[in-house]
């Protein structure tokens, strides 16, 4: 495993629509492992392949229970993710992005999301997410379409060091 460099704005890959993953061979497995390691070291709760300058539809997400800090984190690896359903109910939350250092912003997101995609072996998976997990998936899947949270934020501000970590930073 190796750490990948996280690219930041205005890197053009961040604004490109990512290609579908079609090969689930050793190269993809290495990319997945590297992305998981890079996300953990950053640290972040998610990472999309375009953030490591790979224009492919691949995301990794690792998040625990928002109600319980001590709950074990769950790792999601998703190729070709698609949002098939979003709840009408929305919720405001503060997001950050490893590709846009130093700022955070308030974004309105659907409270629940139903997501389909493929695991690292190419098998179909379906994920029902709500709350922060649903927010993280929406943020990551936006990355695959060249969309960044700053495009949707209603308010942006400089992140101060003394502020607590933003849970949705990826």
Structure tokens at 146: 């060249």
List of E strands, 87-145 = 90-96, 103-110, 112-118, 124-130
For Ni ion, which is the closer residue by CB, 9 or 71? 9
Among 76, 115, 134, 170, binds Ni ion (CB under 5 A): 170
Task: Give the residue with the Cβ less far from Ni ion, 34 or 170.
Answer: 170
Pattern 110-129, Ni ion, x by CB under 5 A: --------------------
Q: Where are the beta strands (DSSP E) in 30-111?
A: 46-48, 58-63, 74-86, 90-96, 103-110
Angle at CA of residue 162, ends 140 and 35, nearest 5°: 30
Whether the CB-CB separation of 90 and 163 falls below 8 Å is answered with no
To the nearest whole angstrom, how small is the minimum distance from the Cβ of residue 67 to Ni ion? 24
| Closest CB 167 distance from Ni ion, rounded Å | 13
Restricted to residues 73-112, the positions that interact with Ni ion (CB under 5 A) are 97
Contact 166/96 with Cβ under 8 angstroms? yes
Pick the closer one to Ni ion by CB: 97 or 113: 97
Instruction: State the minimum distance, in angstroms, from the CB of residue 139 to Ni ion.
Output: 6
Catalytic status, residue 140: yes
Nearest CB to Ni ion, comparing residues 32 and 97: 97
In the Cβ-directed half-sphere of 75, how many Cα atoms lie within 13 Å? 10
**Of 140, 162, 163, 164, which residue is the catalytic one?**
140
Point out the residues that are catalytic. Answer: 140
Which residues contact Ni ion by CB under 5 A?
97, 170
């Amino acid at each position: 495993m190796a750490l990948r460099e996280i690219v930041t704005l205005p890197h053009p890959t961040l604004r490109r629509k990512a290609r579908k993953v079609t090969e689930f061979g050793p190269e993809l497995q290495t990319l997945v492992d590297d992305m998981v390691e890079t996300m953990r070291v950053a640290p972040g709760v998610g990472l999309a392949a375009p953030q490591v300058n790979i224009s492919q539809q691949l995301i990794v997400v690792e998040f625990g229970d928002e109600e319980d800090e001590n709950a074990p984190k769950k790792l999601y690896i998703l190729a070709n993710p698609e949002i098939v359903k979003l709840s009408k109910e929305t919720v405001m939350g503060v997001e950050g992005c490893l590709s846009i250092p130093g700022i955070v912003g308030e974004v309105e997101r659907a409270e629940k999301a139903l997501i389909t995609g493929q695991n690292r072996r190419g098998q179909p998976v379906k994920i029902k997410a709500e709350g922060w997990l649903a927010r993280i998936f929406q943020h990551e899947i936006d990355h695959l379409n060249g969309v960044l949270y700053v495009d949707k934020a209603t308010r942006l501000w400089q992140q101060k060091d003394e502020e607590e970590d933003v849970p949705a930073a990826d």
